[in-house]
Structures are given as C-alpha cells and as structure tokens.
Amino acid sequence: MAKFRMINIGFWDDPKVVEEMTPEDKYLFLYLLTNANTTQIGIYSITKKQMAFDTGYSMEAVNNIFERLIQRHKLMKYNPKTRELAIRNWGKYNFNRGGKPVEDCVMSELSKVKDRSLITFVGEHVKQDRIRELYESYADTGTLRGQEKEEEEEQDKEQEQELEWKRIDHGGGENVVDFYQQNFGMLSPYMAEELIDAIENFGERLVIKAMKISLASGNRSWRYTYGILKKWRYHNVKTIEDVIALDREYEQQREYSGKQAWKPDYPTPYQHNPSEGEEVDDC
C-alpha cells in the first residue's frame, strides 16, 4: 500500500522558514517529513549516512544542518544512540482522521520506540485528544529501554559508519558518490546500498575506474559497471596497477600472437566498445 504524508503549504509562508532557514535547511527538513522511513507517529529510525546518500549531501553538511534544525529552529530531536528522529509538529498535520485503525497503528508504532522522551516531545503538539492520550500512555521518564552495553555498542557502530562515510566522501581523490550522481544519475536508496557494497568489496578507486570504463564505452548502466568489477575479481585484480597490468597482458598477447588468445570480458583502455552480442554478467 502506498504511503502518503501531509505537508502544510503554509510551510513556505512561515516567517521562520522564510527568514531563518537556508535552502539546505528547507530541503533536508522536507526530506525528513517525507522519506520512506517516516511513520504514522512522527518518530522513526534513520541514520545520517542514509540521509547523506538520499539527499546527496556530505556527512559534514548533514551534521551542520542537523545542528541548526535541532538547536536553532527547534523543529526536531535526534537520539544518536538509538538513531531515532522525532518531528515536533508532526501531530498538528498528520492526524486528520481518527478511528480504531489509526489508533491501532499509532499504538503499535509507539510501542516500538526506544527513546520514550521522544514520544513526549511529539505528543505535546498532537491536536486530537484521543491520539494525544495514546502518546501520554506510552511516554515515561525513562528515556531508553534495553541494556547500557547494547546502547554503547550501537553508538560505536554509528560513529564507525560516519568515519567510513567521511573516508569515502573525502578520502584520496575523487568522490565516489559525486562521480556516480554527476555521470549516472541520482542515487536511489537501493542504489545507495549497491554502491556501499561495491565500495566495501572493491574499494573506491576501482569502483570509479570501472565507472569511467563504462562511460568510455558509452554505457551508463550500473549493471555493466558491476560486471566489470566482477571480472576484475575473477582475475584477482585489487588495485589500479593490477588493472593496467591486465590490460597490458592482453595487448601483448594480441601483438605477439596476431590474434586474441584471450581477452578480458570488459572494455580495456584500448577496447572501450564491447563486441557485438557481448553480454556482461548480471550484478
């Protein structure tokens, strides 16, 4: 079933939005109101890493905008331990209908919230009395459920993910995400996961190299690019130098034998256009 979220058009005329929010603030906040992770209750789990992928912002930009939305504009709260986000005025605009189905959905989602202080934060601004009572019944003074050790492990994992993203986003040369979006198109959530997986398995330099070879052959397909990476793995290619050596070996074989004794199943710098009928393995 398709999900829909309510956005009040008065958002664009609000003095706070017009005078205080930057274009980046507006864009990220609208994303936080409408992304696929949103729930009926205005509290949901999401990582900053996913926000960066979905919006195209760097982790540094996401962190800066977050700081403004939370501290300056006071529009939301975020728990970095549980990775739960709460939208303050969600209840003003997203409970136009009541009834048992809505109440059942609200209770189910509230029961899964780990940081219950977020329930109070959102519930205070719910207009419908019955829905507000549900929020109050699930809110308590204990902010977290679960063991402290588990929470610390989650926080450490989040920090490691952010450090890894910074390494990918800023480390050593070209930016993998920017290169993809500039040459292949905007990243969908699915493609973001595909790109992360490829970087973890092959490294950012080889991923960019494979994308460049695809572009040189006139093919902007990620399936085609991933096929190149798979063939490199088959030939135990791990560095750019290995790619050059593999291409050179093929050229030497062709030069000395007068025919193609073997050839890699991907375009080389000397053979960007694949032969007619040639297929690349599915990714």
- Measured CA to CA, the distance from residue 37 to residue 276 in angstroms comes to 43
The top-scoring range by mean pLDDT among 98-107, 139-148, 232-241 is 232-241
The pLDDT value given to residue 266: 57
Residue 277 has pLDDT above 80, yes or no: no
Query: Rounded mean pLDDT of the chain?
Result: 79
Any alpha helices (H) in 172-239, and if so which ranges? 176-183, 189-202, 204-216, 222-234
Q: Which tokens sit at 237? A: 């290619």
**Position 215 confidence tier, pLDDT thresholds 50, 70, 90:** very high
**Residue 263 near residue 255, CB atoms below 8 Å:** no
- Measured CA to CA, the distance from residue 184 to residue 182 in angstroms comes to 6
86, containing H or E segment: strand 84-87
The pLDDT value given to residue 46: 94
pLDDT tens, position by position, 138-196: 886 444 444 445 556 666 665 565 555 544 444 445 678 888 888 888 877 778 878 88
pLDDT tens, position by position, 195-204: 888 888 888 8
Domain residue spans of the chain? 9-148, 174-283
Tell me which CATH homologous superfamily contains domain 174-283. DnaD domain-like (1.10.10.630)
| Interacting residues of 77 by C-beta distance below 8 A, sequence separation 6+ | 70, 85, 86, 88, 117, 118, 121
The pLDDT value given to residue 164: 53
pLDDT tens, position by position, 10-60: 888 888 889 999 999 999 999 999 999 999 899 999 999 999 999 999 888
Residue found by looking up tokens 């960066």 in the block: 52
pTM passes above 0.75:
no
Residue found by looking up tokens 């977050």 in the block: 66
Rounded average pLDDT over 90-105: 79
**Position 246 confidence tier, pLDDT thresholds 50, 70, 90:** confident
Rounded average pLDDT over 94-107: 80
Rounded average pLDDT over 257-271: 53
Q: Which DSSP letter does residue 68 get?
A: I
- Give SS3 for 166: helix
The pLDDT value given to residue 268: 53
Rounded average pLDDT over 69-91: 93
The pLDDT value given to residue 10: 84
The pLDDT value given to residue 66: 92
- Measured CA to CA, the distance from residue 114 to residue 130 in angstroms comes to 22
Rounded average pLDDT over 224-231: 89
* Percentage of residues of the chain with pLDDT beyond 90: 34
What CATH class does 9-148 carry? Answer: mainly alpha
**What are the distances in angstroms from CA 246 to CA 114, 174, 202, 233, 249?**
52, 23, 16, 12, 5
Residue 95 burial class via C-beta count within 10 angstroms: exposed 0-12, middle 13-18, buried 19 and up? buried
C-alpha of 223 from chain center: 19
Rounded average pLDDT over 262-267: 56
